Amino acid sequence: MTIINDRLLKALRLEPVDRPPVWLMRQAGRYLPEYLQVRAEAGSFMDLCRNAELASEVAMQPLRRYPLDASILFSDILTIPDAMGLGLQFVSGEGPVFERPVKTLRDIEKLPSPDVHDELGYVMDVVRAMRVKIGQDLPIIGFSGSPWTLACYMLEGQGTRDFATARSWLWRAPQALQQLLDKLVITVTDYLAAQAEAGVDVLMLFDTWGGLLSEAHYRKFSLQPMANIIAQLKSRHGCSLPVILFSKGCHTQIDEMLKSGCAGLGVDWRISIDAALRQAGGRVAVQGNLDPTALLAEPAAIRQIATEQFAAAVSQPGFIFNLGHGIMPQVPPDNVSCLLDTVHALSARQ
């Protein structure tokens, strides 16, 4: 079945588009009052993720408000460690916390490789419910955390400023860390393949904490496992959906990322969008990269930033307009309208 609005798919194939596709990381979430209402109805965030009807509803909310060119699965990256038995809880004001973090080599050896259809079937139910609501109008982006970023939370037990405990494994027990990453490669690959089977059109790897690593460690412990996933999606599952690789804070590694087999690179605001596009050199698409704090500015400033960003990127193939990280909960929804209206007005003038 073909997708009617195929700008994102075309950009990922580096084909010409009438205007750049636009979507926003965390486009569904706490900045929308209607999201908060549905979350309250569901009980907790994880209850919401496990309820296909309500999760697909919150995925639709930004599409009703804004002219977006893609939807994204409503779920979280931490569903995998939860399915491995770590006991995920979202403590209000503190973010995710695991009841049973990974503390020893023995813990890694004991970690089960979950059957994603059994343990994470509720995620695939959300994909199918989204497809019913979206029809063929827009592509759906499925996603997973990268093995390294998942390992960060699993070893740390929660989000921290510098993930010092997780990083200490790089030096104290690199082989055990590698064993953990190898296990995660298998589960992430199965998980993404199951999302593809359930009907997503694009896959994205969120490597939020790749930027905590040295260049050499990034290549070995973050990028290589992601490249393995991309290769195994094809070889083990025959899945050839385009994969967007987003390693936050890693723009110095773009040349290395180009070898991963990805179709698109997500970049944050530390690099200018035209420099990122130039470095990608028409070999992969580039998605990004407005600083999400720009959405806290006055409308006139938002219009100016969007105009500059757009002018710098629009003429290059494979540009996907997005933020460099997720929308923050304190962003006024009208500011998101202002940003998207500006981008669309600029597109119309092309």
> Which range binds ligand CP3 by CB under 6 A, 72-80, 231-239, 251-259, 332-340?
72-80
78 binds ligand CP3 (CB under 6 A): yes
How many Å apart are CA 235 and CA 173, to the nearest integer?
30
Strand ranges in the chain using DSSP code E only, listed in sequence order = 71-72, 88-91, 95-98, 140-145, 202-207, 243-247, 264-266, 285-290, 319-323
Tell me which residues are annotated as active site. Answer: 26, 30, 39, 76, 153
Residues 83-102, one symbol each (x = binds ligand CP3 by CB under 6 A, - = not), give ------------xx------
Residue 45 or 122 having the CB closest to ligand CP3: 45
Q: Which residue is nearest to ligand CP3 (CB)?
A: 208
> Which range binds ligand CP3 by CB under 6 A, 70-78, 162-170, 212-220, 272-280?
70-78
Residue 95 or 282 having the CB closest to ligand CP3: 95
Element (H, E) at 152: helix 147-156
CB 187 within 8 A of CB 111: no
- Secondary structure (3-state) at 290: strand
Residue 79 or 224 having the CB closest to ligand CP3: 79
Residue 69 or 316 having the CB closest to ligand CP3: 69
CB 284 within 8 A of CB 244: no
**Residue 200 C-beta: closest distance to ligand CP3, Å:** 12
Report the residue from 74, 148, 163, 221 that binds ligand CP3 according to the rule CB under 6 A: 74
Binding residues for ligand CP3 restricted to 317-346, rule: CB under 6 A = 326
- Secondary structure (3-state) at 18: coil
Report the residue from 8, 11, 77, 192 that binds ligand CP3 according to the rule CB under 6 A: 77
Cβ neighbour number for residue 60 with a 10 Å cutoff: 17
Residue 141 or 313 having the CB closest to ligand CP3: 141
27 binds ligand CP3 (CB under 6 A): yes
The DSSP line for 171-225 is HH-HHHHHHHHHHHHHHHHHHHHHHHHHT-SEEEEEETTGGGS-HHHIIIIIIHH
Cβ neighbour number for residue 39 with a 10 Å cutoff: 17
How many Å apart are CA 314 and CA 336, to the nearest integer?
20
122 binds ligand CP3 (CB under 6 A): no
Footprint of ligand CP3 (CB under 6 A): 25-30, 39, 45, 72, 74, 76-78, 95-96, 143, 159, 206, 208, 326
